[in-house]
């Protein structure tokens, strides 16, 4: 039987989804710099994740496990001396609670992101900055919810780069294999 969707559940879902998406970029940089898989594995990704970085690196969209993807992200971030990602303007697509509305098992989130990567040894300059629009699919995992945890996890990540400034070699020689 589907769960009715009341205002309190709607607001909790929005807060949990916002938290998961914020952790996505925090863990992508903070935990990667610390070489910790825990944040990405436990707080961000669904067991399987579809990824599309074609606007940055070419190649093809692909699907993998959260374990493999988290290792890839940490390895990529380890190639930088420093990196920082900033996420803004989250639009969380959830149905409004109303009489008879049922709680969703998935949703979509739109956001703007900027990335700043530094690799001092890069030929042609040490920095690149970029801005992207993200489209994220999230799923609700009932087993996490039953344990009293935030149940929302990213199951699909699409980055559409809008602008770049700086030396693309900062990222290309070390993380360009993503999707290729």
One pLDDT digit (tens) per residue for the chain, 180 residues: 567 799 999 999 999 999 999 888 876 655 555 556 788 889 999 999 999 999 988 889 999 999 999 888 888 888 888 888 889 999 999 999 987 889 999 999 999 999 999 999 999 999 999 999 999 999 999 999 999 999 999 999 999 999 999 999 898 766 666 766
Backbone angle region of 124, left / alpha / beta, with phi > 0 → left and psi within -120 to 50 → alpha = left
pTM for the full predicted model: 0.90
Q: Is residue 126 part of a domain?
A: yes
Number of domains the chain is built from: 1
Say what the pLDDT of residue 23 is: 86
Q: Could you tell me the strand order of the sheet in which 45-52 lies? A: 62-65, 45-52, 152-166, 127-140, 106-118, 82-93
Structure tokens at 111: 């956001």
Of the candidates 151, 159, 9, the residue with the CA atom closest to the CA atom of residue 73: 159
Q: Is residue 165 part of a domain?
A: yes
Q: Is residue 46 part of a domain?
A: yes
Q: Is residue 105 part of a domain?
A: yes
Say what the pLDDT of residue 57 is: 84
Q: Is residue 2 part of a domain?
A: no
Q: Is residue 180 part of a domain?
A: no
Q: Is residue 60 part of a domain?
A: yes
Say what the pLDDT of residue 135 is: 98
Domain carrying residue 153? 7-175
CA 80-18-30 angle, 5° bins: 20
Q: Is residue 1 part of a domain?
A: no
Phi, psi (rounded to 5 degrees) for 47: -55, -40
Q: What is the CATH number for 136?
A: 3.10.450.50
Alpha-carbon gap, residue 56 to 50, rounded angstroms: 16
């Amino acid at each position: 039987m589907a769960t009715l969707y009341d205002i309190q559940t709607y607001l909790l879902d929005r807060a949990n989804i916002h938290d998961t998406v914020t952790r996505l970029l925090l863990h992508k940089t903070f935990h990667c710099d610390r070489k910790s898989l825990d944040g990405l594995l436990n707080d961000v990704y669904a067991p399987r994740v579809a990824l599309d970085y074609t606007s940055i690196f070419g190649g093809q969209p692909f699907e993998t496990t959260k374990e493999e993807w988290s290792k890839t992200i940490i390895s990529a971030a380890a190639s930088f001396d420093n990196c920082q990602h900033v996420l803004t303007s989250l639009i969380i697509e959830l149905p409004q609670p109303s009489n008879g509305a049922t709680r969703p098992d998935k949703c979509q989130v739109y956001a703007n992101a900027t990335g700043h990567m530094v690799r001092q040894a890069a030929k042609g300059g040490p920095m690149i900055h970029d801005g992207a629009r993200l489209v994220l699919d999230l799923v609700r995992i009932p087993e996490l919810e039953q344990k009293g945890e935030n149940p929302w996890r990213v199951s699909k990540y699409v980055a559409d780069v809008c602008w770049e400034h700086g030396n693309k070699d900062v990222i290309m020689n070390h993380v360009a294999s993503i999707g290729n």
